[in-house]
Structure 1
């Protein structure tokens, strides 16, 4: 073969190989944070500060992804989950979210925690068109596809949950005198909006006192004393776990024994009930959407058995009574399902497309409750059931309640 023919033949081989490879390459579409071997995901959570109990969720999600990576990852790609401390401080959240997007170049964000922290970054994240998935807040602002199409919540909406409690009070104790302790931010305002809506025109007469607190306050003792003095016989506690524990304990210590209702985000046995004391918390009512590992009805449940095995191997740092252990597990499961559905199209646009078209069960959601989203309704979880603490664990006592 002459030199000229050899060159022509080599060119033909190169062209043929390029043509063969082109379809395979065309099938893969990657956005920032994605390679053939890795998918970078980011979050912020309060590993320090007044809301540090919530960090168990991120620790548990990290442990779930570690299990997935040990199994080979998702479609051959390992998950690199970058979880940064923001101390539940909005300025710190801004700093850390900018780092995740601009420096770490994550593909998307999953379950950053807190209403005020997420409010501080939601506009920026949407301007950057980064999927902002499963936000750790039930504030209604995080279901606003018109203004924030890249953002979706995880927690059932606070306003809807507040309405559920109001309807329960009207049916069981219509002559109640209600005292309220609420966090002084959008979290507290959303719960109270729904609670008042549920009480309707009776809100003005039934609510006899409302006390607020800030997350920087050392205690809520004075607020609880004021609420007792109001004569309230129902105590609606709209707080994060640290302050739930303080409120429950103080009411017990001052010999005030109203019917206590604690919002789901402040009801963790590990984060709120145990620090308050099991005797002090007996009879508390809350709402749930996920299985309680301490509930004996799930003892033989295959999904709960698998969770216990996973906890022992991958998540021993977190107690099995911690609300945020199954929480993080469920979130990890949902994220992996979204990534599986994306296949090799791992652009931010397709990740958001898959997240906004969910219809799936999760292993540790209560029966009858499932994730469902659409482009016009980005709330994944819309259903809850009422529970009562019996001195050892929460016991279900209502059917599935759908929120509007």
Structure 2
């Protein structure tokens, strides 16, 4: 009789032991689930960033300084899930060949977890295949080209801002509604940046483009001025000017149009709508009436005065980037890009692998303090366009005012 009792007890003891072991294993999930790709550890997250601190569009360098300041703020407050962000931000002078060189340095030598917010259309196009071949996240690019939203072909690349194509479409629709018999002159940067804007614009004009577009000229970023192009555009007899240029050339265009006494309705690409970096140097009096588009709040707009969102942004600029102009919307871009990246890293938890970083980037649903009211950040595995809505705006001589309602992307 004793043998069966002994076996029964042994079986019960074995079951108890297994249950205890299972309980211990379940109590340690956090340690077991910590996963890292190159560029992340228990204490640090290393991000690469490229922006033109020098060269023809060095005005954009302030975006990198704002991003660095925001990550300094985050680190001072304890980091992201206990890890400090190390940003390695390099200058490519807006030269695609240099972009390739510094990207290889960041990925292969510095071994960053991701390339975050590299700026420029041609610049990112030069590294897109490389980043996807390396399977290193190429995230929240500071360019609105449509090619950054193609997860089937380029699953490791994601844009951030509204597309240039959508913006071009919005301007064309507005022209058709307000000046259906317009004669349109176009100036565009001769690269993928300019071509993306033009594509959307011409799509909406359709067959009417043949009669409405009376001149279409280009410039190179290496050109010292665009005076000759503007003389030709004025001579075309156009009463609408679509200006697809980066900050340096946009300021030149605004001044020269005024000097020539040409008074077209002036549509300006949003990448150059900064009142501080472009309109002020060109002369506010010369910029009055310019139409552009926004997806961010304008810090100088009295409509936002007294809001918590603006107060927090101004306090950040004062403490972490005091040399920056808080009214420069380029700094608002850097601030908002950095906030998007921080949220994505938070969602990763302790799984800081390349794969999970992309997974979290493709599962965002959030508002950002300095996005224009009614505009949000939203992604899915099929939608790699985080910010898609825009608001048309018109400069009244001192600030921008909204034109119509927020438009879908």
- TM category (shorter chain) comes to over 0.9
What's the CA shift for 1:25?
2.7
Say if 1:180 and 1:20 are closer, same or farther in 2 by CA, change over 3 A: closer
Instruction: Show the counterpart of 2:270.
Output: 264
Distance 2:403 2:96 in 1: 37
Partner of 2:88: 82
1:400 is paired with a residue whose SS is coil
| Alpha-carbon separation, structure 2, partners of 1:38 and 1:50 | 34
In the alignment, the residues of structure 1 paired with residue 198 and residue 286 of structure 2 have an alpha-carbon distance, to the nearest angstrom, of 25
Q: Is 2:405 aligned against 1:399?
A: yes
Choose which of 46, 51, 63 in structure 2 pairs with 1:45.
Answer: 51
1:60 to 63, 66, 73: 66
Which of the residues 130, 138, 141 maps onto 2:147?
A: 141
Q: After the TM superposition, which residues 173-322 of structure 1 pair with which residues of structure 2 at under 5 Å, given as runs? A: 173-322=179-328
SS at match of 2:390: strand
Q: Work out which of the residue numbers 342, 346, 350 in structure 2 matches 1:340.
A: 346
The whole-number CA distance in structure 1 between the counterparts of 2:298 and 2:38 is: 37
1:158-177 to 2 correspondences below 5 Å: 158-177=164-183
The answer as to 2:35 corresponding to 1:29 is yes
C-alpha distance 20-146 of structure 1, shift in aligned 2 (>3 A) = closer
Cα distance in structure 2, aligned partners of 1:264 and 1:335: 22
Which of 90, 100, 103 is the matching residue for 2:106? 100
**Long gaps (5+) in structure 2:** 1-20
Which residue matches 1:372? 378
Query: How much has 1:107 moved relative to structure 2?
Result: 0.5
Give the CA RMSD over aligned residues. Answer: 1.4
**Partner SS for 1:151:** coil
How far 1:19 sits from its partner (Å)?
7.3
1:155 deviates by: 2.0
The residue number in structure 1 matching 2:124 is: 118
CA shift at 1:301, angstroms? 1.1
For 1:36 and 1:263, locate their aligned partners in 2 and report how far apart those are by CA, in whole Å. 43
Distance 1:65 1:131 in 2: 19
User: Partner of 1:5 in structure 2?
Assistant: none
Give the Cα–Cα distance (whole angstroms) in 1 for the partners of residues 49 and 235 of structure 2. 42
Asked if 1:72 corresponds to 2:78, the answer is yes
Return the alpha-carbon distance in structure 2 between the equivalents of residues 186 and 27 of structure 1.
42
Could you tell me how far 1:376 is from its partner in structure 2? 1.5
**What is the deviation of 1:388?**
0.6
CA-to-aligned-CA distance 1:94-127 (integer Å, 9 cap, x gap): 0000011001111111110000110100000000
Query: Aligned equivalents of 1:275 and 1:116: distance in 2?
Result: 26
Question: What do the CA deviations read for 1:197-224 (whole angstroms, capped 9, x no partner)?
Answer: 1112211100000010011111101000
Give 1:81 deviation, angstroms.
Answer: 0.7
Structure 2 CA distance for aligned equivalents of residues 218 and 247 of structure 1: 12
Residue 236 of structure 1 aligns to a residue whose secondary structure is strand
1:6 is aligned to: none
Residue 12 of structure 1 aligns with which residue?
none
Question: What is the Cα deviation at residue 24 of structure 1?
Answer: 4.2
Tell me the distance in 2 between the aligned counterparts of 1:302 and 1:186: 38
**Unaligned segments of structure 1, at least 5 residues:** 1-14
TM-score by length of 2: 0.93
SS in 1 for 2:90: strand
SS of the residue corresponding to residue 313 of structure 2 reads: helix
How far apart in 1 are the matches of 2:353 and 2:247? 37
Alignment: residue pair count: 387
Counterpart in 1 of 2:158?
A: 152
Distance 1:229 1:161 in 2: 27
Distance 1:266 1:97 in 2: 26
Report which of the two structures shows the higher radius of gyration computed on alpha carbons: 2
CA distance in 2, matches of 1:284, 1:20: 62
Give the distance between the partners of 1:24 and 1:298, measured in 2 at CA.
43
